[in-house]
Every structure is written in C-alpha cells, then in structure tokens.
Chain A
Amino acid sequence: MTLEIQNVSKKYNRNKYGLKDFSITIEKGILGLLGPNGAGKSTLLKMIATVSKPTQGVIILNKNNILKDANYMRKQLGFLPQDFGVYPNLNAFEFLEYIAAMKGIGGSNLKSKIEQLLDGLNLLDAAKKPIGSYSGGMKQRVGIAQALLNDPKIVIFDEPTVGLDPEERVRFRNLISDLAQDCIVILSSHIVSDIDTIADQVAVMKNGSLLSYGDQEKLIAHVDQKVFSIIIDKEQLTNFKNNQIVVSTSRKEGMLNVRYISETPKEHSIPEQANLEDAYLYLTKTN
C-alpha cells in the first residue's frame, strides 16, 4: 500500500498558498505530521481525505489517482477531522449507524461492531444518550469510533488527542500502533510528544511547505551536537532568547536552567542529548 502525494499545491489567491509544491510518499506505518498552526497540515489531510481538492498536483493511492476516483479512497478511508460536529439529537449508537450508512457499510454484524467500538472506547454506558450531552473527550472518542467503522486501510487523524485525558491518550496511542500493522496511519499534531513515541516517519511542515521528512533519527540529526543547557539569571533570559533558539526553561535555585540550540554554544554550557522536539523547533525557527 502506497500513497503518493506529487507536487500538490493549494492556492487560495495570487499570493496565498495553503500548500506549496508538496511531495511525499507514504508507506504502511505511522506518519507523524508536525508543524505550527497554519503550516498546512489540515489542508493536506483534507485533500488526502477527498474533502478538498488541490489546485495543482496529484494524489495517488495504489496507482489510482484519487482526484479522479475519490470513491476509491473513500471506500478504505477512516478520517477524524480536527474540528468536527455531531447531530446532537442522535445518540452515539445511532450516529455511528448513520456514518456507517454514509460509508456504505451494513450487514448483520454492524450493530455488534458498533457495540465493540463503543465498548473499546468506554462509551457503552453513554451510548443511548444524545451526543449533545457528551463532553468534548466523549465526542472525540465517537469521532475515533466512526473512523474505524469500515476497516480502513488509510487512517487520518487530525489533532486527535484534543480533549482526551492522559489515560485516554495512552490507549489511543496503543490503538494507533495496532492500526499501523496493516494500514497507513497519518497523524497530525503540533504537540511533539503525541508523535515522537509512535511515529515511524515524521514530516515537519511550515507555511505550506515540507521542511524535512524521514525517520526520527534523520530529523534529530539536524540538531545533533547542537543542543545545550545553561544556567542563567532571570534578567538575562530576554536577551538570551534574542540570540539563541530556546527549547525550554526551568527554575533552579533562583536561577533559570535553559535548554537551547546553537552551533556556537555559550561558555559553561553543557551538551545535551538531542530529541525530536529540539529538531522540530530548530527546523521551524530556522526556516
């Protein structure tokens, strides 16, 4: 299973691009899409999900151009949009039945499958209540359930962990890892910790362009031997931030322990082990 995105652009007007000449080839496994707000992650995901069309380029799934044959993608797609709604007067069970009907899924096992999904997402107790009464996290789990209804081969999760509590996040990560055995899973987030523990490949985006793509080691190599920490006065922080890429700060005995990225470290700095967050910040701040 291969998903090829070739020279895809989304142009809003003469000067404004949502996505610019974007190319990437995705194989089975988990692709983590990282980028600040407005990087073009959701634009890209909507185009893969056939909800939006590029102004240029092609998207090919297993040698089928999905821009010409959207239903080829839709038949095997599970999509959780970033900002989705529900029909508040339906309960979770009915809503999932409705989505299943839209996807062209039915048969005698459908009800059992919905029950399995709701049970697995700890929603079975509330399944007969109107979704309008659900909390944000519960709605998010209904969204996850609908994405799995049709045994998808391509699963797209756009900012999926919004509203989930820490325990649910862990379970969700397990689910994604499980899915990735047989599917292409594309997971977007601007929170690095959502991606770094599970993604096989990571793509970093900014302003509609691809900054870097590869496995985590390849990305981290960008900041190899460039990450340091130093203890400074609080008063020095503003000036320090103007000259260095600061990753994080923490208080230490009235002083500040600053983790930063630099090619020419300050005196008394201690070298640190680089991680994905360092690489992400470095790529997005220097491009």
Chain B
Amino acid sequence: MKSFLSTIKFDYLQRTRTYSFLITLCISLAVAYTFVPEPNASYSTIRISDYVGYYNSAWFGYVTAIMTSVFLSLVGFYLVNSSIKTDQVTKIGQITAATPASNFRYLLSKVFSNFLILSTIVFIIFIMSIILFFLYNEGFPFELSQFIVPYLLIPIPAMFFIAVLAVVFEVLFKKYSVIQNIGFFFLFSATVFSTSPNEIQYVLDPFGTKIVMHQMEESVKNILQVDEQTNLSIGYVLGNVQKPKKFEFNGISFPLSFLISRIAWILLGTILIVCISPFFHRFNTKDRPKITSTIPKFFNKKEGKEIVLSNLYQSEIDYGIFSLVKTELMLLFRKGKRWLWAINLIGMVLLAITPVEIAYPLILPILWFLQVHRLSEISSKEIYHNVHYFAFSSHKPLGRLLTSQIIAGIAIILFLATPLLIRLIITQDFSSVGYIITGSVFIVLLASALGILTKGKKLFEILFFMITYANINKIPFADYFGGLIHSSNYIISLIIVTITLGTIGFLTRRYQLRK
C-alpha cells in the first residue's frame, strides 16, 4: 500500500512541478474569477430566465461548484489524458513494465494521480469562490458548509470519473489521440445536454450538476407561479443589458440516492479500470515502424565503408528559408495517422458544398481544431523530440527556424480553408477572407507562443479546445476567424492580439536562446 501511495505521490509531484501546470493554475484562477459575475457585469454564467440568486454563501458555493464540474470536466480530460504516453516518451514506462506492479495497480495509480491534479485545480477554484464571496458580499453571512458540501458532492466525484475516463480512453485508443479527443467531446456533450428532471437522471449524471440546476429552476418557477420550463442558461452569456432579478437560493438537501450515486460513480470508475487492465499494452507497443527489413541489410553489409573527407563535396552557403519551410510543412503533413487526412478532405468537401452560413462559422473552426495535434507542437517539437541542440546551435534559429515554422503552420491552416476562401472570393466577400487569414495567423501564433512559453503542447490544446467549443456555441468573444462578428474594431483588436502573440513568442524564444 505504501509503495502504491508513493507511486501516486511522485507521479503527482512530477506532473505538477512544471511551468505549464503553474500557468494552468493561473488560468484556472482567472477563469474561476469569472464564475460568479461582478454585480454590474454584462455577462451571466448561471441564469434562470431573468433571475439569478442573491449573492449569499449558497449561491457562490453551488454556482462555482457547478461551473467547476462542467468546465473542468471538459477541460480536465484534455489536461490529464496523456499520463501513460508521457511515461512512454520519458521511457519510465519500460522500467515500470519490468516491475511486479500489475496493470490494474499501474492504471489505478494513474487515475489517482490524474484525480489529484484535477482536485488541486478544484481546490484553487474553491478558494477563489470564497474570495469572490467576500469581494461581492451583499451582507449575507459566510457559511463554510455551503461551499464544502457542493464541492464535495459535485466536482470532486466528477473529477474522479474524468480521471478514470482519461485512463480508459488512453488505454483503449492508445496513440489515436484524435479519437480520444473527439470521442470524449461527444460523450461529454451527450451527458451534459440530456435533461429530464427526475431522480434517475440525477443519479445517472456523472457531473452531479443537474439536481442543483433543476432545484434552482423550481425555485424560480415558484416565484413566477408557472409550470412550464424556464429558460435556464449555463455558460458565458454576453451582453446582458437587463439587470437580473434576484431570488433566494439556500442550497439543497441532497437525497440519499444522490449521495449513494456519487460513491457508485467512483466504484464504477474503479470497475472500469479493472475491465480495461487486460488491454493495457504495458509499454510493449508497436509505435516504432517495423525494422525487420532494415536490420538484415544493415548486418549483412558487404563492406564497412568509411567517410573520406577529401572526397566530400564542398558545402554551399544558402541562408534562405525555403528548405526549412518545406521540411516544416512535411513534418506537419506527416504528423498523425494518414487516414486522418481523409477526415480533413471530408471537411474540405463540406466547406465547398454546405451553405456558407454553416461552412464558415461551424465547419471551419471544427476542421481547424482537428489540426490541434499538428499545431500544438509547432514551436516546441524541437524540445519534445530532443532536437533542440541542433536547432538552437543552427544559423539564426530565431529569424529562420521560428519564421519557417510559423509560415508552414499558416500555410497548412489556410490550405484547409481553401474551398471556403475560393467561395468567398467568388462572392467578393473580401472582409471574410481577411478575417479567415487573420484567424489562421492568430491560431498559429497562439500555438507557437504557448509552445515556446510552456515548452509543451498541453496548454494550447486545452485553450484551442475551449475556443472551438465557444465558437460552436456562438460565444462572440471567442470568434477569432470572423464567423460571428464583422466589425472594424473587432478585427483591429484581433490583429493587435495576434501581433502581441507573435511578439511574445519571438521575445521568449530569443530569451531562451540567449539564456
């Protein structure tokens, strides 16, 4: 037992002692700050028709717990869904595989480690929710239990289930990260949006949010004296000019079935791990392409040739970046499985044949998001693949290599958008063309800057996912490609943000090179 706990502890420490985790925590704090809007804010997070609760302890505790459960379930999966792959890359996996630790024990330790990571973020948000209560206090007393109870019963069991799902997906789909990402997204959407207020639904809700939201709706229905469905919104809704009315929400008394269901979800998660344990590859993977055809040739070499320096051709100087761009493009094209390009082609066909109203705001961001695995490594792959000694000792690595990476990234993103761009050009909608080009530069520079800053890809993957999720849900401030908003002020702001990202990326890489 002690060694099992040590495994979890050190895995947790290893994963949290990174710069990217620190940034993740900072972003979590910033996001948590928005969970309960400032009294005069023009957006809402949870709103039932025109009502929000009085800013008492229960409202803060329950609203932030629900928001945490929903958003961290979505984002958290992407944050922890590569724990096994990391062991493979760092080659710790092979050492682990040679120990007596069973598959179940190893996978369960990964679940707990994932769970601890997510719980750390939950804890940070929990603290922020209390700070927010005192910040926006409307004279209501502070009740700690109104914070602790919802957090214990809503996000914490949900995080355990997410920690389990991350491991299950990683074991079952191994290196098919695209299937993992898309599969979870659909599973999450199906779970979140199925609504019918009854006790069985509450029990079957892994995120534990529906019971609270329906209780809130009931409270508002009582005030309005209506039986029909109220308009409940969860998520960021912008532009609320009308000040909301207030209703009193004092928390809920959770039924016993719900309490048991939380434990049942944790048990179910553990059973899932038992079930998938036999399918775990235990690091005996076939990631490496077959070399059987190469090795015999190598060992059957007829003669041991040597390099004769005097016979070598003289090198010619060529400081152009065309060759670099070409290889960067090649690396981007070859990233991931070839059949994924079939999906890209389908996306491009859809961009060509569906109405522009669907192709532009919906298909384009999804098609671009499918390139997340290509873009996320665009400026950090040298470090990931340990090629940085070559890259950083090359000729003008900042001006030539980084520029090539960015050009290649923009080229591939724009290439995917070509059918839509042609349609827009034909209809002389040049402002949309301008937006799409700006959007492509923005997303590539975001990937590059975050990759350089964090020396990893996780943060960009999570952010890109959140941005795309917001795009699909038509949340305006996440519109980076002009799918929803067309205004000169907006595109100027977008260009300024894009230039800032480029500058941050360049300056940080320059600092890293000098250091």
Contact = CB atoms under 8 A, between A and B. Distances in A.
Interface in B365-394: 381, 385-394
Q: Chain B interface: which size bin?
A: 35 or more
Contacts of A99: 390, 394
B397 A102 contact: yes
A79 B389 contact: yes
B412 to A, nearest CB: 15
A106 B324 CA distance: 11
A184 B486 CA distance: 61
Given A84-B387, A104-B396, A178-B307, 12 more contacts: A51-B389, A53-B515, A87-B387, A94-B327, A102-B395, A102-B400, A104-B317, A104-B319, A105-B315, A122-B298, A135-B295, A178-B309
B131 interface: no
Contact of B331 (A75, A89, A97): A89
Interface string B296-336: 01100100111111011111111111011011001100110
B312 A113 contact: yes
Interface stretch (A1-9, A126-134, A273-281): A126-134
Nearest to A119: B305
Q: Closest 5 A-B residue pairs measured CB to CB?
A: A106-B318, A85-B386, A107-B316, A120-B307, A102-B394
A35 B321 CA distance: 40
A197 interface: no
A90 B327 contact: yes
Tell me the interface secondary structure of chain B in the complex: loop
Contacts of B334: 89-90
B315 A51 contact: no
Contact of A148 (B295, B312, B397): B312
Contact of B312 (A46, A116, A167): A116
A162 interface: no
A173 B153 CA distance: 67
Contacts of B305: 119-122
Contact of A174 (B297, B306, B330): B306
A81 B385 CA distance: 14
Contact of B385 (A87, A101, A121, A125): A87
A88 B385 contact: yes
A88 B377 CA distance: 14
28 contacts: A51-B389, A51-B392, A51-B393, A81-B390, A84-B387, A84-B390, A85-B385, A86-B387, A87-B331, A90-B331, A97-B323, A98-B327, A101-B326, A101-B327, A102-B390, A106-B318, A108-B316, A109-B313, A109-B314, A113-B315, A117-B312, A121-B307, A125-B294, A126-B294, A129-B291, A130-B289, A135-B295, A150-B315
Among B312, B385, B397, residue most surrounded by chain A Cβ atoms (within 10 Å): B312
Interface string B275-296: 0000000000001111101110
Nearest to B395: A104
B175 to A, nearest CB: 12
A34 interface: no
B378 to A, nearest CB: 13
Given A87-B387, A99-B390, A125-B298, A71 B312 contact: no
Contact of A102 (B287, B335, B391): B391
A133 B393 CA distance: 26
Contacts of A112: 313
Interface string A234-265: 00000000000000000000000000000000
Interface in A44-93: 46, 49-51, 53, 71, 74-75, 77, 79, 81, 83-90
A120 B389 contact: no
